[in-house]
Amino acid sequence: MAFGQTQPHALITGGAGFIGSHLADRLLVEGYRVTIIDNLSTGRWENIAHHSKNPGVRFAIEDIRNEMIMDRLVSECDVLFHLAAAVGVKLIVERPIDTIETNIRGTEVVLKAAGRYRKPVLLASTSEVYGKSNKVPFREDDDGVYGATTKSRWSYAVSKALDEFLALAYYESQKLPVTIFRLFNTVGPRQVGHYGMVVPRFVKAALANEPIEVYDDGKQSRCFANVYDIVDALVKLSQCGNSYGEVFNIGSTEEVTIMELAQRVQSATHSTSEIVLVPYEKAYKKGYEDMRRRVPDTSKIERLIQWKATTALDQTIQQMIEYYRNLEKTK
């Protein structure tokens, strides 16, 4: 399969990332040609190296803020998945300037190019845009409730909300075919814990029989969706044609406390690790804020494409255990 043929051509920004690389895998199976652009700041070449000799895949190791490169790549694609962003709580807290500039400026460049060539865009947003809202489950038209600007924790949430405003403005003013999807916690093979992602952090600690660190009191809860389920939703959403100008939650509705998650990982790995509580101030910095619950209402996407997350959390944990065990074997 070469780049002169008639198969549909997808461009994935952030395509070397955890979710982006799985999306590339799925699109190739679906018969797409794929172009990946990633500056490898948080993405990893290892995630996409298995496609290095595939004639149906092109790679651009470049920043999406490079307008000349993005203009060319967007002009050549049929659909654009914009996943490139600063990710991970630890990264957001430690590098707020990068977070804001990458998210806002990057999305501005992507949408400007898409508008120039009228290419369909699926733009990744996040459950963070709901902020500190206590109205659970979160529905797409709920209000966002943010903390003070003196707390860098909220820079990511606000920057992604601005991305959404900009994308919807392009839809309203130029009728650009834009679909926004808000991802809730997504986990699976290839995810790393470098930037605060909790499941890989727990799995790696458990496999090494090291302390499993649970922040705060462990009673905060999340819903963890399997990356294969998420990618299935993204592909179906891109193909339905009735999603333009809309926002969709995508995630699991299986809620679990972080303490229970640690216990499940401990049990699944047969680990001797101790579960220890760590104050937020020690994990991040003084004044860090978090939300207690984060649960999506997914009825909107269920109605549109008949999609629902179906992989149980325990099955996802097993997948990640096998992934990290295999990684150790190849070292």
pLDDT in tens, the chain (331 residues): 345 568 999 999 999 999 999 999 999 999 999 999 999 988 999 999 999 999 999 999 999 999 999 999 999 999 999 999 877 666 666 777 877 888 999 999 999 999 999 999 999 999 999 999 999 999 999 999 999 988 877 888 999 999 999 999 999 999 999 999 999 999 999 998 776 789 999 999 999 999 999 999 999 999 999 999 999 999 999 999 899 999 999 999 999 999 999 999 999 999 999 999 999 888 776 667 788 999 999 999 999 999 999 999 999 999 999 999 998 887 6
Task: Give the start-to-end residue ranges of the domains of the chain.
Answer: 9-186+227-251+290-310
Strand (E) or helix (H) holding 230:
helix 227-240
Q: Distance between CA 38 and CA 48 in Å, rounded?
A: 11
174 burial via Cβ count (<10 Å: 0-12, 13-18, 19+) = middle
Strand (E) or helix (H) holding 45:
none
What letter would DSSP give residue 274? P
8 Å CB contact between 269 and 212: no
Position 3 scores a pLDDT of 54
Strand (E) or helix (H) holding 267:
helix 258-269
Q: Distance between CA 243 and CA 224 in Å, rounded?
A: 24
Distance from the Cα of residue 249 to its chain's centroid: 12
8 Å CB contact between 170 and 82: no
What is the token pair recorded at 232?
């299935």
- For the domain made up of 9-186+227-251+290-310, the CATH class stated in words is alpha beta
Q: Distance between CA 32 and CA 257 in Å, rounded?
A: 39
323 burial via Cβ count (<10 Å: 0-12, 13-18, 19+) = middle
Handedness of CA 123, 128, 131, 135 (dihedral sign): positive
Position 155 scores a pLDDT of 86
Position 85 scores a pLDDT of 86
Considering 32, 156, 284, 324, which one is annotated as catalytic? 156
9: closest CA among 36, 45, 47, 48? Answer: 36
3-state secondary structure at position 200 = helix
The edge-to-edge listing of strands for the beta sheet with 221-223 is: 255-257, 221-223, 293-294
Q: Distance between CA 73 and CA 76 in Å, rounded?
A: 5
Strand (E) or helix (H) holding 136:
none
Examine the residue annotation and report whether 156 is marked as an active-site residue of this protein: yes
Q: Distance between CA 245 and CA 175 in Å, rounded?
A: 8
For residue 55, cis peptide bond before it (omega within 30 degrees of 0)? no
